[in-house]
Amino acid sequence: MIGYLSLCPLGKTHKWVPHLFPPLSRYLFSSLFLLLLKSPSVNFAVILLIQLLRVMGSCWSDGGGGMVGVGGTTSSAAGCYASPNDAVDYYLKSRGFNGLFSQIELSFSASDLRDRDVISKSDAVVVVYTKGRDGALAELFRSEVVLNSLNPKWIKKLTLSYQFEAVQTLLFRVYDIDTQFQNSREEMLNLDEQQFLGEAKCALSEVITKSNRTIALELMRKEGAAAAQTRPQSHGKLIIHAEESLASKTTTEIVLRCLNLESKDNFSKSDPFLVISKMVEHGAPVPVSKTEVLKNDPNPIWKPVFLSVQQVGSKDTPLVIECLDFNGNGNHSLIGKVQKSLADLEKLHVSGQGINLFLPTGVGHKHEDKALKSQIFVDKFTETVQHTFLEYLASGFELNFMVAIDFTASNGNPRLPDSLHYIDPTGRLNAYQRAIVEVGEVLQFYDSDKRFPAWGFGARPIDIPVSHCFNLNGSSTYCEVDGIQGIMNAYNGALFNVSFAGPTLFGPVINAAATIASESLAQNARRYYVLLIITDGVITDLQETRDALVSASDLPLSILIVGVGGADYKEMEVLDGDKGERLESSSGRVASRDIVQFVALRDIQYGEVSVVEALLAELPSQFLAYMKNRNITPTTSTSSAC
């Protein structure tokens, strides 16, 4: 149990390593741990362990080096930007906070529907379902009924949240409503009593990546309907048009500060941070943003928080702003909170006045809110309309997928079941296959030709020395394969046509991807490249990799790294700029932006967050950062920014 407790000052779950603790903390830990071992009472041992965790959390919260590791700062000045807080990130993700999303409005029309009525034409309604990975359907929307038309145009629109990191499969069914039910409300109709006209399905990504955001789908018979094995017969077309709501483009910048915060620590002042959550109709508030942690500061001024209306629902949606005292053990203490909407916060800013935090006391019917002397102020509130990820897609930008696979000997013999490259005859995907399929399934919609560069590294292909960047398809002249299945086929073929070797070097494959991105930029192409590196081990060319990443940070390129197996990936986390520190090359040059996202498969494979969500959640932000750095707008070409 002790070996995997979240005791690391980096705020993550690591094996216990003595050198990570300050000297005094190590002494306290050793002494108290001996007491645990000698304790005759299990309950006493548990209580003592809890107190130990609290002590250790307070030590790290107060220690200068520890706070830097988790994103704290020694200054409360708004201009002093601290790095993101890993422990707080985990705290948020464990409560449902994932990637950002955009509000999409779908409108529907149809053409050449089947005429199922004898005297008049069909009276059509369209019903929309979401389709889960397990195939289960959940009804999402029903339109109004359009009477007596084979080419209906429905007025009612469907508004839903687009999430880049997920494949959102939608199923559309069109029904002819029987005359006797035409005065019934649409939501009360029993669809089993209506005449089925046809169905179609697509991913939401397929609609929003069209240049005009319009897609025409052939309506077919229901899936699984008993029918002869003949060519599917079309029953008309369903036309779907997508529009991004204006709310998705409006971003609010807010600077918050507090005054006279109460101390929650025994020997020092609190280390406060804010969590902003939106209220939902059912269930607990959903976190949508957070600030950095500020060390020992009763009067903190946090760096700006950016909120979009689409994140919070609307400008009038109630928001809960909680002020918490950071503790390294993850047990953050509530200092106080307020509940205000964006509209309320704007009024506070205009008035220049603060509002008192409150602390809930009691439970059930005896629940009361205790007003505190602590106050929160809104020092800045500005709204701007910014270009969105979807606007760039609509103007012709694409995401081009690339993959590089680790074939070093540490993966094990692929013919044996304990190998990370073992191909299971039952069809169960290994870790490499799973990463390829899950990431590729999302990104393929953003690549028009679906020809993906694919490389291997750390092995000896036939008749050549060990290579750290060879074409996965076996060709000596080109590296591209056709589609996700093409990657899978090339991967399966390479497994038994190369000799696993080593060491693990990333520099060559990153440079190969950077070369393609650089050539594309020189040709004024509207492309942004995404390289997926899947590896089982620690890299041995860390400085060369740093140099390659710093150089590539000026290019239209992001790099996703998936760690498989049980290796120690601390060096990988250094490459990921989530801690706020930009990479620096051997020549002293600093990366212009963060382009790396790293995920260890073992950390998320049993959790609620999928590999895809963990890897891709930051990609739209990295894409937009590149466009902003080069002053590229959706309506301009890249040549104007070079």
Confidence (pLDDT) at 629: 87
Residue 127 pLDDT greater than 80, yes or no? yes
pLDDT mean over 6-33: 36
pLDDT tens readout for residues 264-311: 877 778 899 999 988 876 667 778 888 999 999 999 999 999 887 667
**Among 2.60.40.150, 2.40.280.10, 3.30.70.2860, 1.10.3720.10, what is the CATH number of 250-385?**
2.60.40.150
pLDDT mean over 473-492: 95
Pairing of the two strands 158-162 and 102-111: antiparallel
The architecture that CATH gives domain 389-630 is: 3-Layer(aba) Sandwich (3.40)
pTM tops 0.85, yes or no: no
Residue 7 pLDDT greater than 90, yes or no? no
Q: At a CB cut-off of 8 Å and minimum separation 6, what does 230 contact? A: none
CATH number for the segment(s) 103-182+192-221+234-245: 2.60.40.150
Residue 162 pLDDT greater than 80, yes or no? yes
170 with 129: CB under 8 angstroms? yes
In this chain, the answer to whether the domains covering 250-385 and 389-630 adopt an identical fold is: no
Nearest to 231 by CA among 215, 220, 217: 220
- The DSSP call for residue 98 is -
Q: How confident is the model at residue 166 (pLDDT cuts 50, 70, 90)?
A: confident
Q: At a CB cut-off of 8 Å and minimum separation 6, what does 82 contact? A: 71, 72, 73, 292, 293, 294, 303, 580
3-state SS, one letter per residue, for 17-30? CHHHCCHHHHHHHH
Domain ranges of the chain: 103-182+192-221+234-245, 250-385, 389-630
Q: How far apart are CA 260 and CA 1, in angstroms?
A: 39
Nearest to 271 by CA among 79, 78, 70: 70
Nearest to 155 by CA among 176, 184, 125: 125
Residue 641 pLDDT greater than 50, yes or no? no
**Percent of the chain with pLDDT strictly greater than 70:** 76
**Percent of the chain with pLDDT strictly greater than 90:** 47
